[in-house]
């Protein structure tokens, strides 16, 4: 196969999903390339939307939540010939040329915007290729229903009816999970993992991360938790690409021995192996990584929208707890660190989660066609 994966530079989640798929296809000896779908509209468009997404996520998350809710209530905004559909369709001709030049026979979209662009490309040119959409959240996101591709890879069989309700034929839907890097399927013994990150093996270790952009009330939570939970407790904060947050934490709390401040972490798999609890925003990739590692989760209400559905999926399974209030989050954390029965309830629930290797499933499905 010659495979083109279309991502979108709006946060690291979609790119991480694309890399996870590529990792497996490369290992199978297939030709696989990742491209930013917005680039086919223009380089300036890609840069502007990428910058805008990061800015909104970090500074005005309520606007993202409002926009997501609005498009859920008004799906017609993405219908064929609508302004938004036409905007993403602008890249269709350039995408067509790229597919033909690269002689790709399979195109996989890991973002709804890319799926609209590919849908329009196929409407105009009807290329003899396999097309697919991969959902990176535990819901059918707005605009997906306006796409028309061969396959829709979704996170869980329980969500199939939701996708069907948007008029996606059941025979196109494949429940395979959300693609994550292969390193998350490998385990490091907890004590060894703790040692690698400078954590006392006898201490409870909580990892806090709010996506690659480091958004949410991280600074306040870090200050309160490291003050209230001292003996036998360590907190590692992953700031991602948010250098400002990292500097603020180092300046305010850098001398606290139970606080470990990290920037962008490449070996997240080992860090999660070292964790007893994971305090995170409910991004689709993040929660899937943690669930694969069987780490109980506490969800921070950093950005709503699709993340509300991710949060609901795992809290309903009993694998996680959540709160929209910083003080309540603090009490939840303290309770789970100190109350062994409550902690074990979450740990036992997440231990029963069965998650398949999504990238392998996608490869096997497309290879057999």
Q: How far apart are CA 58 and CA 215, in angstroms?
A: 5
- Enclosing H/E stretch for 345: helix 340-351
How high is the pLDDT of residue 213? 52
Burial class (CB in 10 A: 0-12, 13-18, 19+), 166: middle
Domains located in the chain, CATH noted:
2-179+356-368 (3.40.50.2000), 183-351 (3.40.50.2000)
- pLDDT per residue over 13-49, tens digit each? 899 999 999 999 999 999 999 999 999 999 898 888 8
Nearest partner of 296 among 355, 358, 345, judged by Cα: 345
pLDDT, residue 150, reads 98
pTM comes to 0.91
Residue 302: which pLDDT band, with cuts at 50, 70 and 90?
low
Q: To the nearest whole number, what is the mean pLDDT of the chain? A: 91
SS3 34: strand
* Burial (CB count within 10 angstroms: exposed 0-12, middle 13-18, buried 19+), residue 238: buried
Contact partners, residue 279, CB within 8 Å, separation at least 6? 206, 207, 208, 209, 221, 297, 298, 300, 329, 333
pLDDT band at 57 (very low <50, low <70, confident <90, very high): low
What distance in Å separates the CA atoms of residue 271 and residue 193, rounded to the nearest whole number? 7
What pLDDT sits at residue 240?
84
pLDDT single digits (tens) 90-114? 999 999 999 999 999 999 999 999 9
Sheet-wide strand order for 204-209: 259-262, 233-238, 204-209, 277-281, 297-300, 320-323
């Amino acid at each position: 196969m010659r495979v083109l994966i279309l991502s979108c530079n709006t946060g690291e989640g979609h790119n991480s999903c694309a890399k996870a798929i590529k990792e497996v296809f490369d290992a199978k000896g297939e030709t696989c390339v990742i491209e930013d779908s917005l680039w086919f509209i223009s380089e300036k468009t890609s840069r502007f939307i990428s910058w805008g997404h990061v800015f909104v996520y970090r500074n005005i998350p309520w606007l993202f939540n409002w926009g997501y809710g609005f498009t859920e209530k008004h799906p017609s905004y993405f219908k064929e010939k609508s302004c938004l559909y036409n905007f993403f369709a602008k890249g269709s001709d350039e995408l067509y040329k790229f597919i033909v030049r690269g002689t790709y026979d399979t195109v996989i979209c890991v973002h709804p915007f890319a799926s609209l662009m590919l849908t329009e490309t196929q409407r105009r040119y009807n290329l003899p290729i396999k097309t697919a959409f991969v959902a990176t959240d535990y819901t059918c996101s707005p605009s997906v229903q306006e796409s028309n591709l061969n396959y829709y890879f979704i996170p869980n069989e329980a969500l199939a009816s939701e996708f069907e309700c948007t008029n996606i034929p059941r025979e196109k839907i494949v429940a395979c999970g959300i693609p994550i890097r292969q390193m998350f399927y490998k385990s490091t013994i907890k004590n060894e993992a703790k040692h690698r990150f400078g954590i006392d093996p006898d201490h409870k270790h909580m990892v806090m991360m709010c996506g690659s952009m480091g958004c949410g009330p991280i600074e306040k939570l870090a200050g309160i938790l490291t003050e209230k939970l001292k003996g036998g407790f360590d907190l590692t904060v992953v700031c991602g690409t948010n250098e400002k947050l990292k500097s603020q934490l180092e300046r305010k709390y850098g001398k606290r021995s139970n606080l470990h401040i990290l920037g962008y972490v490449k070996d997240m798999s080992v860090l999660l192996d070292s964790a007893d609890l994971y305090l995170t925003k409910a991004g689709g990739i993040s929660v899937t990584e943690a669930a694969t590692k069987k780490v109980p989760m506490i969800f921070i209400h950093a950005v709503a929208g699709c993340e509300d559905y991710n949060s609901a999926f795992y809290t309903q399974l009993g694998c996680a707890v959540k709160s929209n209030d910083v003080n309540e989050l603090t009490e939840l954390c303290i309770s789970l660190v100190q109350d062994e029965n409550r902690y074990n309830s979450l740990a036992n629930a997440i231990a029963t989660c069965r998650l398949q290797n999504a990238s392998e499933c996608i490869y096997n499905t497309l290879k057999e066609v």
